[in-house]
Structure 1
């Protein structure tokens, strides 16, 4: 469930966590345990790390920014005015969200609701702006 609150013309939307990628990685790690224990441990540990991130981080789309929170503490703000492009890789099975700002690029695993993520991206930075 997303949370919405009124702000200016658009509302603030907080994305729900999505545990699919972390769970798949932990499962792959468990399946590889007998065949390749070191690789299994690395993959499972990465899955646990992503699970922790999914539990603790929140993405909030506001009228002007994409904000990342840990609990109630704002840890990073990305104003849409500085965005140049965004992309969701492998839309059929979304696993990676990429966006480029004027000074940097960012890659985030999709540990949030991918449908709401795409809807919010299209609402706040429409495809006609998303050309380069």
Structure 2
């Protein structure tokens, strides 16, 4: 996406700027956010601080969108839905999900 921002600057300055900012945001997220699969929860960490815990018992479904070129990880809990951009290896993500929270 960052490489796409460069030629976009020549076509439309604002589109290139938006793509560049989005690329920087995703890079920051990829470097700082970590998922940890525990026996009972999916924990999300920023650095060493846990920012969110999702107990598997509250999950109703999950899905990885566009698996050949993974873009988005979706899961639904009893009270809410969540979309996470895929910033990690989709094969490992799928293996961990199938191990800890098989699809319903």
The verdict on a shared fold, with TM-score over 0.5 as the criterion, is yes
Matched, 1:95 2:71: yes
Tell me the distance in 1 between the aligned counterparts of 2:23 and 2:81: 23
Match of residue 8 from structure 1: none
Match of residue 113 from structure 1: 89
Secondary structure at 2:35 match in 1? strand
TM (normalized to structure 2)? 0.97
1:46-125 matches, cutoff 5 A? 46-125=22-101
Structure 1: gaps spanning 5 or more residues: 1-24
Match of residue 5 from structure 2: 29
In proportion to residue count, which structure has more helix? Answer: 2
Tell me the distance in 2 between the aligned counterparts of 1:31 and 1:124: 42
Counterpart pick for 2:16 among 40, 60, 67: 40
Tell me the distance in 1 between the aligned counterparts of 2:101 and 2:44: 17
Q: How many residues of Structure 1 are paired with residues of Structure 2 in the alignment? A: 104
Deviation, 1:31, is: 1.7
What's the RMSD between the two structures over aligned residues? 0.7
Tell me the distance in 2 between the aligned counterparts of 1:28 and 1:71: 29
Deviation, 1:43, is: 1.0
Tell me the distance in 1 between the aligned counterparts of 2:28 and 2:69: 21
Structure 2: gaps spanning 5 or more residues: none
